[in-house]
Amino acid sequence: MKTFVTTSMAAVLAMGVALPAHAQFNDRTIRIANGIAEDHPVADGVDVFTQCVDETSGGAWTVNAFWSSALGDDLQSTQSLRSGTLEMVVTSTSPLVAIEPALGVFDLPFLISSDEEADALLDGEFGQYIADMMPAVGLVNLSWWENGFRNLSNSVRPVETLADFEGMRVRVMQNNIFLDTFQTLGTNATPMAFGEVFTALETGAIDAQENPYVTIDTSRFFEVQDYVSNTRHAYTPFMVLFSGPIFNTLSEEEQQMLFDCAAEGQPVQRAASRALSEESLQRIIDAGLEVNDISPEAMAEIREAVAGVYERSAESIGAEVIERAQAELAAIRGE
Ligand code: TF8
């Protein structure tokens, strides 16, 4: 008996060696939900991811991406991941604070101030610390990609000082920290899903929204806005999320492939985002919008006005989470 078992095991092992490398991959189609449009730099990352998955799985896996909220908005899609009815979403952290409040740390005004800081924070211990929280809420973060620094656009006037925010009807993400920030700045802030923003701007239901230049460009907000102010008030990252319940049914090789391929997409996606940011800004200017910077004095006043948001959000985000982010950023800045 013993001999028999050993022999058959040896046979299985020998067979395993002889099998092609992709034998560990079962046929599968995965859908990626995206709120943004197909010409947004997320598509560059998704292309790399798709090709990597195709190659690694020997063609067993197919990736289909959906754009412009075709599979629902960020929050709806993410809930579908948690219930195991959708495989993937590329989403901002901000609409997900209802699922994991610690994600609100990225919504704190003026937390991150450069691309380098963003990359070091997200690719370092802090990014891992946040990613490690996700399985408990039925999600797996495969990688941190870039949404970018957010800038205010509106149809009323150039925002050059704190006083210019007054009374503006601004769409904010479905997020209590953004709501607090924009209410504190004196605006009339309305939480709204991303997919509704264009129409709300077009019909005049709202005056303003805030998103990176690439989004103002690729979602064509510049067609229904007149002013863009370089506020850079927050850097909200993209999470490349996979469904926890589906992830748990995958082989180790399949799970590893997902992490590897999302990581392979990361530098390409970030580079595309940064390159397009310049082009998008130019397209916005060419479309006739007035783009303004904010003077250091006015910026100091704006920062001062929203400083209290940190303390007011500490309870929901977790004081420890905020402290860890600030400590890691201080180390990154060499402070
Ligand atoms: C927002 C976000 C969105 C992204 C996108 C839908 O303003 O910045 O643009 O989450 O993936 O809602």
pLDDT tens-digit readout, 72-126: 999 999 999 999 999 999 999 999 999 999 999 999 999 999 999 999 999 999 9
Report which ligand 1 atom has the smallest distance to the Cα of 150: 8
In tens, the pLDDT along 136-181 reads: 999 999 999 999 999 999 999 999 999 999 999 999 999 999 999 9
Residue 92 C-alpha to ligand 1 middle, in angstroms? 6
pLDDT given at position 24:
86
pLDDT given at position 1:
42
Q: What is the mean pLDDT of residues 65-76?
A: 97
Average pLDDT, the chain: 94
Residue nearest to atom 4 of ligand 1 (CA): 92
pLDDT given at position 3:
44
Sign of CA dihedral 88, 90, 91, 93: positive
Report which ligand 1 atom has the smallest distance to the Cα of 193: 12
Report which ligand 1 atom has the smallest distance to the Cα of 212: 8
Sign of CA dihedral 201, 206, 207, 210: negative
pLDDT given at position 2:
44
What are the structural domains, with CATH classification, of the chain? 28-332 (3.40.190.170)
- To test the ligand 1 pocket, which listed residue (32, 39, 46, 74) has its Cβ within 8 A of the most ligand atoms? 74
Residue nearest to atom 12 of ligand 1 (CA): 194
Residue 10 has pLDDT above 80, yes or no: no
Residue 296 C-alpha to ligand 1 middle, in angstroms? 28
Residue 50 C-alpha to ligand 1 middle, in angstroms? 22
Residue 17 has pLDDT above 80, yes or no: no
Question: Does the ipTM surpass 0.85?
Answer: yes
